[in-house]
Structures are given as C-alpha cells and as structure tokens.
Amino acid sequence: MTHFVCLNCGFSASEKDLDGIATCPECNVDLQPERPRRKDDSHTATITAPLGSQRCKPVFTGSAGEFFRIWIVNTFLTILTLGLYAPWAKVRERRFFYQHTVMDGQPFDYTAHPVALLRGYLIVGGGILLYYLAEAYNPLYSLMVFGIFSLVLPFLIYKSLRFFARHSVYRNIPFHFRGTLGESYKTYLLYPMLIPFTFGLIIPYWAFQRKKYFFGNIGFGTTANIFQGSAREFYKLYGLVVVLLVVIIFFSIPILMSFATMIPAPEAGIFNAGMIFFILSIYFTTLVVSTFVQQYIYAWTTNYCLGHSELGNIRFQSTLKAKQLFWIRITNILAIIFSVGLLIPWAKVRRTRYIIDNLTVIAGQGLDEFTAGVRPDESAYGDVATDFFDIDIGL
Amino acid sequence: MIEFTGVYFDGKTSRAYAVSVVFDGRTLHIRGVEGDYPALDIPLEDCTITPPLGNTMRSIQLPGGAQCQTSDTAAVSALERLTGQNRGMGFVHRLENRWKTAVGALAGLVLCVWVFVTYGIPFLAEKIAYSVPPELAEQMSRQAIEMLDRRFLKPSELDPGKTEKLQEEFQHLHSEIDPDSDYRLEFRKSPYIGPNAFALPSGLIIMTDELVDLADSNRELLAILAHETAHVKKRHGLRSIIQNSGVFLLVSALAGDITSITSTAASLPTLLARSGYSRKFETEADTVAALYMIRKGWGTGPFQAILLRITRDMADYPGESLLSSHPLTNQRVQHLRDIEASMPSGEAAE
Ligand SMILES: [Zn+2]
C-alpha cells in the first residue's frame, strides 16, 4: 500500500485513509507519493519521526586555535581603527561560527554586509551617547531617554530578528522572520509593563511569548516553522526554579551566618577582613546560584522550544543538560579571568560545540525540498541594538 | 586552466548538485556531475567571490542568485587573484591564518591598549573636562554635595569666629593660584570621614571640623587648601570621572559580548587604572601646593606636618577609605622634601 505525504508540513497518510483526497488538509498542497522506505527505518510513523525520516547530526568543525587567530587579529584592527572596523570584525566572527556549523555536509552562512552594520552601530552609538550625556546633565532626562528607548526597543527587536533571519543562509536559501511589529510591541512592551500589576505572575507567560515570537515566526525559504509549545510548561519550569531557589537560600543562609560568627566581632569599623570574607562568600554564592539557574532555564527552554518546532517535514531534538552547561560556564569564566581574556575564543568555541553536538535534525524527506521566497532587504540598526544590549532573542 | 569540483545551489530550492568547474581563463564552465543540470557558462567578472575565512569552504555567488561552493580553497584563491576581489579581506585572512602574525596582533593590541590608557584617555579626558560648561559643573557638584550631606556629612559645629581668619586667607590663596574661577570654602562635621578635605568641580571646597581641630595653625590648613584649589584648577575631579569611564568602556569593548563575565572582571582593571590616575593627580596637586608654600616663604614643613598627623589619626575613622585615594603619605612627604631641596635657597627665603 502506498503512503502519501505533504512535502510542506510532513502530514502523512495511507492511500486508503485519504479516500481520494489529493491535497494536504493543513497546507492545501498536493500530496506526493512517499519514497521507498529504508530497511533500518521501517518503524511506523510517529509524531517525532515521520516516515522515511533521516536523523542527521549537525557538527561544529571550528577549532579554538583557528578562532583565536581570527579573534585576536580582528580585535587588534578594531582598536587600531578606534572601533570603525567593529562591524567587519563582527561579521567575521559570526561567519566563523556559521560556516563551521555543518549539517548534512553543507555549512550555514552569514551574509550580512558590514557597511549595513556600520550604519546601525553609528545610530545606536549616537543613542547611547545621548543617554550618557542626559544622565550627566540631569538624571531626570536620562529617565526620559530610557522611556523613549523602551518605546523604540520592540521596533529594534523586530528589525533585528528580520535582519538576522534574512542573512542566515543554508544551502543558498535564506531564513525569514514573519513576526509583526504589533506582536513585538505586545511581547516586549505590554507584558513587561504588566509585571508589577500581576505581582510577577506573568513572568513565565512573558518568557513563553518571547520564545513564541521567535520560534512561531521563523522560517526557512518559503517554509514557516510551526511552534507548538504551551505556556503551561513554562509555568512549571519557573515554579521549579522558584522552589530550587528557596531550597538553596534556606540551606545557604545558616552556612553563611556561621561564617560570619566565626570571625571576631568588628572592631575597627565595618571594613575588616571578616566582613570582606563574608561579603565575598555571599557574592560567590550568588554568582554560582544565578549561573546555575540561568543555564538550567537556557537548557530547558532550548530543548523544549526546538522539540516543539516543526519546520516543514523537519523536526529537532536538543539534549542539552543544565549540569554540563553550568560546568562549561563556570570553567569558562575561570579560564577567561586567569588568562586575562586570552581564552575567550576557546570558551566560545567550547560552548558552541557542546550546544551543536546536542542537536539532532530529523528530516522527513531529506533537506533538498525547501524553496526560496522573495528576498526583501533589511536594515541593520535593530540587529546592532539587540547585540549591544545582549538581548535574548532565542537560539 | 583551473579545475575543481564543488556543489551548486540554484538559489530557488535547497537541493545540492554536485558539479565540476573548469575555468578557461575567461569563463567558468559549470557542469553537473550526475545528469546534465546545471550546465552554465559564466564569465568570471560576473561572479562575486565571498571573502576567505579560516579553513571554511569557499563560495562563489553567480548572477541570478545561484551559488557554487567548494572546499578547494586553492582554486578559488587563484580565481580571486585574477578578479582582484577581496583584497582587503584577503589581507586580513593572511594575518589570521598564521600564528606569527596572530601573536604580532596580540603584541600590537597590548601596545595599543597601553598607549591608549596612559596617553590617549588622559589626553581626551583633559580636552573634554576643559570644555564642560560651568553650569554643568555647578549642577553636578550640587548633586554630589546633596548626596554627601545626606549620607556622610553633618552641619559644622565650629565657632564661626575661629574660621573667619581662615576664610580671609583662603580668599588670598585662591586668587593667587587660580584668579579666574570662583571658590567657596565650607565646613562640615563628619565623624565618619574624619580629618579630610575635598573639592568639587564647581570650586566648592569642603573641610571637616575634625581637620580644623587637628591642625596646629592656619598655615597647615592653607597647605591643604592650596592642594584642593589645584585639584579644581586642573579639573582633576571631572578628568578622573571621564578617564575611569573611558577605561571601563575600553575593557568592555575588548571583552566583547560576554557581558556577565566582564561585569565581574572589568572592575579590576578599572580599579587599577583609577588608582594610577589618582596618584598622578595627587602628586600634581601636591606640587602646586608646595610651590605656593615655598613662594610664600613658609616652606613645606606645615604641609608635611598636617599630612603625617592626618595619617596617624585616620585609622580611627571607618569611612576614610571611601573618599581618600591619596598615595602613601611617606611618598608624599618625600616628594615635598624633594621639591624644597631642588629650590635655590634664595628663592625659598623670599
Ligand atoms: Zn587630593
């Protein structure tokens, strides 16, 4: 018996079930007869692995030494040109990470032109200068500039995502981002404004909406990604994080207190060695705990969002572990501090390799069937802004 | 004749076609390896070659949005040389590709940062500080003194009769050292800071009751006031704020986007640079004060005496470390003695 599949969404059904219908019920695209199945892949269709699926693991082929040389030369040129070369350095760094991410024998590519970024750097740099000048003159003005900035931010994020997607290319087909400006304002202005009124209860929902804005609107060629995550899972995650934090604080306070009492009472003011030790241990504990929580949220969110994404007939599986990411982050920080920054390239390559190594792509029909859409040009200033403020936009 | 194999993408679908490419000196002949698609003959001058990077694959953009990728970097580099494309990025690539040049870039980077921190930032800060309008300096100073009054300072409890003479002598002093600016001297009680004095950019000098009580004579206090006046005249306050933010910006720019790490690690170099800068300014202000004292015929003796007494007294005050960034007292006293010793004796006696 022949199976029919939709090349667009991966919908699959047997000839008998279809009962004469020749178009996909979801996409309205003509169904195609399925390719002969491979022997080792003969299990029946499940939601995670459509019929005839191939598992393919992207690999990261870059090495730390190669990136160190690129990084040091470009940093030197940036300083030498008083920052004017920065967009070129940025593009080279991104291209290094994209081109060394190889999937199914083909690398990704980043095609943004540095001049487009330079324009963005100048506009955003001017805005930041304005902010600092206003702050020096009167903190009230800087509050106003901050207000204007939060009004503009959703627009910048929207622009940034479009630019980022448009210039991310695989097999000579660019990605695209179809999110609307209105959605961006809802996600990045309305929800954060509601936090105080909902006593923070909206925070998990907000986190969900941010991910939904990215994963629900990204696409490759003409194929849109379908994101099927639910806000409920984000509430579970943040609930778990809160419980975790309460437990950690509950256990660490008595330990810290005992440290404080072990040290002779303050005599010569508050700046004695005991107090410094006490403050340092609080600082260190906070650093470790917050890093772990960050990595835990990052690992879970990435795994969840990729696991609930469907790009045409492609599915993703990400198996990041919070413990591993935490270990990588902590050792990276130590390595960077003790090498006076020289190990920054090694740290970046190491983390990227771990993340890529944990990604599996399950392709229903191979990776040959995607088609390109129209290619609108996008301006870069949004991209620069989100880059500068290190705004979390997903992946 | 240049020949290589690669992969062709037509830019319409994601399908990869294995191709062989032959360049005859003018035109690229691209032929599909399996089947007769694609079959293209494209003049080299219509192609755009993507700049080289590390040991990644090379790609050639063809007219109409198609692309040809290959791992044969040597062949593409040869084509690149023929078209004359990517001269700049090709140079950067050659720098990046060798350890020798990379280490050279590292040395150059360290040198640049050193030059910038020791000469560039102080130079720029000075230029900026002198172009700050007086109204802005006034406003910043008012905010600073309001904050200090709330947190660390209390109204002075000195007998006004005791300070009247000092105010008078201070008028003479600042009109001799810096005739063009306005100065004001105010007193505050501060059990927290202890015997100390500081100057704000607007020309407001604050002296603590504790310092006045500690001094044996007004001459000692005038030495301190000469030092503070020099800080205002040379705009040390503004310059150090600008310099410190300059170093912080530089470090953050160098460390790039690992923000969580820089916020921790950036504070250390900033702190180091700050103490280096402030030491320079203190020495400069000490020199001005010493020269003034010598010119007046008082010698630096009173200045040395009050400095030593402040240091002895300071240990009792907890907040001292907040405001003071002065170099070690012994070094300062030695510096004052050196200045006096280098003066011709006739001038000192004048
Ligand atoms: Zn001073």
The domains of chain B, with CATH numbers, are 2-89 (2.30.29.30), 133-349 (no CATH)
**For residues B303 and B297, what is the distance between their CA atoms, to the nearest angstrom?**
13
- Distance between CA atoms of residues A92 and A89, nearest Å: 5
- Residue A47: the pLDDT is 34
Predicted structure pTM score? 0.74
Residue A115 belongs to a domain: yes
A260-306 pLDDT, tens digit each: 555 444 444 444 556 667 777 777 777 888 888 889 999 999 999 99
Residue A172 and residue B98: Cβ atoms within 8 Å? no
Of A212, A240, A210, residue with least CA distance to A300 = A240
User: For residue A269, is it within any domain?
Assistant: no
Residue A112 structural domain: 43-246+287-386
Q: Are residues A10 and A25 in the same domain?
A: yes
Give the distance from residue A246's alpha carbon to the nearest chain B alpha carbon, in angstroms.
23
Residue A151 belongs to some domain of the structure: yes
Q: Are both A74 and A10 inside the same structural domain? A: no
Number of domains in chain A: 2
Confidence band, pLDDT 50/70/90 cuts, at residue A182: very high
Q: How far is CA A109 from CA A92, A354, A355, B251, B277, in A?
A: 11, 20, 18, 30, 46
- Of these ranges, A30-44, A93-107, A157-171, the one predicted with the greatest mean pLDDT is A93-107
User: Is the same domain home to A94 and A176?
Assistant: yes
Residue, of A242 and B263, whose pLDDT is higher: A242
Indicate if the pLDDT at residue A50 is higher than 50: no
Does A259 reside within a domain?
A: no
Which amino acid would we find at residue A100? H
Integer Rg of chain A from CA: 25
Interface probe with B: pick from A76, A141, A291, A377, most Cβ of B within 10 Å: A76
Residues A337 and A203 in one domain: yes
Q: Do residue A172 and residue B101 have CB atoms under 8 angstroms apart?
A: no
Query: Does the distance separating the beta carbons of A170 and B69 come in below 8 Å?
Result: no
Reading chain B (350 residues) residue by residue, the pLDDT tens digits are 888 999 999 888 888 889 999 998 888 999 988 888 888 888 988 889 999 998 888 999 998 889 999 999 889 998 988 888 888 888 999 999 999 999 999 999 999 888 988 898 899 999 988 888 888 888 888 888 888 888 778 898 888 887 888 899 999 888 888 888 889 999 999 887 788 888 888 889 999 898 898 888 889 999 999 999 998 899 888 888 888 778 777 776 666 544 444 444 455 555 556 666 778 888 899 999 999 999 988 888 999 998 888 877 765 554 444 444 455 777 888 888 998 888 765 444 43
Query: Could you give phi then psi for residue A111, rounded to 5 degrees?
Result: -110, 10
At residue A59, what is the residue type?
Answer: V
Residue in chain B lying closest to A294 (CA)? B260
- Three-state secondary structure string covering A268-282: CCCCCHHHHHHHHHH
Burial of residue A79 (CB within 10 Å: 0-12, 13-18, 19+) is buried
Chain A residue at shortest CA distance from B51: A92
Question: CA-to-CA distance for B322 and A108, rounded, in angstroms?
Answer: 53
Q: Tell me the chain B residues in contact with residue A87 when contact means C-beta distances shorter than 8 Å.
A: none
Do residues A17 and A125 share a domain? no
* CA of A335 vs chain B CAs: smallest distance (Å): 11
Q: Give dist(CA B113, CA B255) in Å, integer.
A: 13
**Which of A95, A174, A172, A311 minimizes the C-alpha distance to B16?**
A172
CB-facing half-sphere around the CA of A161: CA atoms within 13 A:
27
Query: Which has more confidence, A267 or A213?
Result: A213
Specify the higher pLDDT residue, B188 or A18. Answer: B188
Decide if A261 is inside a domain. no
In the reported structure, the alpha carbon of residue B69 is separated from the centroid of ligand 1 by a whole-number distance in angstroms of 65
**The 3-state secondary structure of B82-134, one letter per residue:** HHCCCHHHHHHHHHHHCHHHHHHHHHHHHHHHHHHHHHHHHHHHHHHHHHCCH
Tell me, letter by letter, the H, E, C secondary structure of A152-172: HHHHHHHHHHHHHHHCEEECC
| Encoded amino acid at B328, one letter | L
A25 located within any domain: yes
My answer on whether A5 and A100 are in the same domain is no
A237 and A343 co-located in one domain: yes
Distance from CA of B95 to the nearest CA of A (A): 7
Q: Quick one: A50 and A157 in the same domain?
A: yes
For residue B147, the chain A residues in CB contact (below 8 A) are none
Question: Do A89 and A168 fall into the same domain?
Answer: yes
Q: What is the ipTM of this complex?
A: 0.72
Q: What is the predicted pLDDT for the residue at A336?
A: 85
Give the pLDDT mean for A183-196: 91
pLDDT at A30 (0 to 100)? 57
Tell whether A279 is covered by a domain.
no
Highest mean pLDDT among A132-141, A146-155, B174-183, B341-350: B174-183
pLDDT confidence of residue B135: 85
Which member of B14, B109, B318 has the closest CB to residue A79? B109
Asked whether residue A4 falls in the same domain as residue A79, the answer is: no
pLDDT at A148 over 90: no
Residue numbers in B near A387 (CB within 8 A)? 257
Are residues A56 and A118 part of one domain? yes
Which chain B residue has the Cα nearest residue A171? Answer: B14
Per-residue confidence (pLDDT) for residue A11, from 0 to 100: 53
Same domain? A81 vs A190: yes
- Closest alpha carbon within chain B to A110: B50
B333 CA → ligand 1 middle, Å:
13
Token pair for A246: 């309460």
The pLDDT of residue B345: 56
Is residue A186 predicted with pLDDT exceeding 90? Answer: yes
Question: What percent of chain A is predicted at pLDDT more than 70?
Answer: 72
Hey, what amino acid is at B126?
E
> Is A215 within the bounds of a domain?
yes
What is the average pLDDT value for chain A, to the nearest integer? 77
**Residue whose entry in the numeric block shows the structure tokens 């070659």:** B49
Identify the CA nearest to B202 among candidates B144, B152, B284.
B144
* A150: confidence class by pLDDT, cuts 50, 70, 90: confident
On chain A, the residues whose CB falls within 8 A of the CB of B66 are: 172
